[in-house]
Amino acid sequence: MADVITYRDAVAEGIAREMRRDASVVCLGEDIAAAGGVFKTTTGLLEEFGADRVWDTPISEQAIVGAAMGAAMTGMRPVAEIMFSDFLACCWDYLANEIPKVRYMTGGQVTVPLVVRTANGGGLGFGAQHSQATENWALTVPGLKIAAPATPADVTGMLAAAIRSEDPVVFFEHKGLLATKGPPPPPGHVVELGRAAIVREGADVTLVALASTVPLALKAAGVLAGEGIEAEVVDLRCLVPLDAATVLASLGKTSRLVTVEENPYQGGWGATVVSVVADAGFALLDAPVRRVAGECVPLPFADTLEQQVIPTVDKVVTEVRRLAAY
């Protein structure tokens, strides 16, 4: 394998590894087969595994996720793609009412081991209906696991864990990260769901980030280091299970918290992280918490407008400076 791999290629690599390992892993979605996915995240799967296991579907989001559910209930491990995360709304019944509830309401009789993959987030000028960061939608639903990797190796390792999981996982691949490169995943790489990573150590402030906001937080930390502020950056990797222990341990070192999330402030996951900290770690704090999040507006088209709305390095740096001075 090459010295580096793109986030985009790490998706196909992660799926292919599991399909080779386990014949019950199958894929379905719009344009995923011959076209290799509109984001080229399923390139090569049709050629290697054939049309029975890599199924091009019509534009039928309810049927895609509903069929994945039925297949998962009967012995398969489907990986369904919903092209843009905005389109999860078209099959929301399955994500809110069917998949996460069936084990519970059948008293544990039925298992739904499936993965719903989707391209999430803004920054590419796709406009209001193809740019949202929607991981907070899934966070409102008990019974869904939520993964959102930030690096190519994590993409492959977390896909392995998600596909092997007996629980349903919504897997958010960030569009803005698809072309980024990183060290390739080692053979057999598995990143357990619910384990956050400290991706930069620091003693002055904890930045909690996810997916696209991880490189953003790291850049902000670089700027802040030049001013003598050392930020510790936590990549949450998953929202459910939420690795609160790692966040609290980091606060034990830094005593200051900033969450950096792309979804809107209103109802965003940062609020949940902050409430857990207020509940379980209030005594660790020496300053108010801050949340850098998306504005509560639909994503605008023009670059200059979009940058006004979603988190940027400057916004993170500004918040941290205010907090450092507290």
Partner 1 sequence: MDATALLDRYERMNVIRRTEKAAHDLFLRGLVKGTTHLAAGQEAIAVGASAALRPDDYVFATYRGHHHALARGATPEECLAELMSRATGLCKAKGGSMHLTKAATGMLGSYAIVGSHLPMAVGAAWSARLRGTEQLAVAFFGDGATNIGAFHESLNLAAVWKLPVLFVCENNLYMEYTPIADVTAVPRPAADRAPAHGIPGEVVDGNDVEAVEEAVGRLARRARAGDGPAVLEAETYRHFGHSRADPAAYRPAEEVERWLKHDPLDLARGRLTELGVDEETVAGADERARDVVERAVEAAKAAPPPDPREALTDVWADGGAAWRT
> Using CB under 8 A, which of 69, 163, 216, 299 touches partner 1?
69
Q: Terminus-to-terminus CA distance in the chain, angstroms?
A: 48
Residue span 171-210 as binding mask against partner 1, x where in contact by CB under 8 A, dash where not: -----------------------x----------------
Residue 136 CA to residue 276 CA, distance in Å, equals 16
Q: 313-324 and 213-225 helices cross at what angle (nearest 10)?
A: 50
Query: Which CB atom, from 160 or from 177, has the smaller least distance to partner 1?
Result: 160
Catalytic residue at 130?
yes
Contact status: 78 vs partner 1 (CB under 8 A) = yes
Query: Which CB atom, from 97 or from 266, has the smaller least distance to partner 1?
Result: 97
Query: Which CB atom, from 210 or from 221, has the smaller least distance to partner 1?
Result: 210
Given a contact cutoff of 8 angstroms between Cβ atoms, the answer to whether 7 and 185 are in contact is no
Q: What is the DSSP string of 169-206?
A: EEEEEEGGGTT-EEPPPPTT----TT--EEEE--SSEE
Residue span 205-234 as binding mask against partner 1, x where in contact by CB under 8 A, dash where not: ------------------------------
- Measured from the CB of residue 243, what is the shortest distance to partner 1 in angstroms? 5
Side chain identity, residue 102? V
Contact status: 138 vs partner 1 (CB under 8 A) = no
Catalytic residue at 61?
yes
Of 13, 30, 61, 81, catalytic: 61
Residues from 259 through 288 that contact partner 1 (CB under 8 A): 276
Contact status: 98 vs partner 1 (CB under 8 A) = yes
The encoded tokens of residue 319 equal 């918040």
Query: Which CB atom, from 72 or from 160, has the smaller least distance to partner 1?
Result: 72
Contact status: 103 vs partner 1 (CB under 8 A) = yes
Burial class (CB in 10 A: 0-12, 13-18, 19+), 266: exposed
Residue 269 CA to residue 172 CA, distance in Å, equals 14
Query: Which CB atom, from 145 or from 256, has the smaller least distance to partner 1?
Result: 145
Residue 202 CA to residue 56 CA, distance in Å, equals 47
Given a contact cutoff of 8 angstroms between Cβ atoms, the answer to whether 116 and 141 are in contact is no
Of 98, 130, 192, 230, catalytic: 130
> Using CB under 8 A, which of 167, 173, 232, 261 touches partner 1?
167
Instruction: Look up residue 92 and give its DSSP letter.
Output: H
Burial class (CB in 10 A: 0-12, 13-18, 19+), 1: exposed
- Measured from the CB of residue 265, what is the shortest distance to partner 1 in angstroms? 21
The residue range among 64-72, 148-156, 221-229, 308-316 that interacts with partner 1, by the rule CB under 8 A, is: 64-72
CA distances from 213 to 9, 58, 70, 245, 274 (A): 20, 33, 35, 20, 17
Query: Which CB atom, from 126 or from 137, has the smaller least distance to partner 1?
Result: 137
Half-sphere exposure of 127 (CA within 13 A, CB side): 1
> Using CB under 8 A, which of 38, 40, 67, 313 touches partner 1?
67
Half-sphere exposure of 5 (CA within 13 A, CB side): 21
Contact status: 82 vs partner 1 (CB under 8 A) = no
Could you list the residues that contact partner 1 (CB under 8 A)?
26, 52-53, 55, 57-58, 60, 62-76, 78, 93-94, 97-98, 100, 102-111, 113, 142-143, 165-167, 194, 240-246, 276
Catalogue the active-site residues: 61, 130
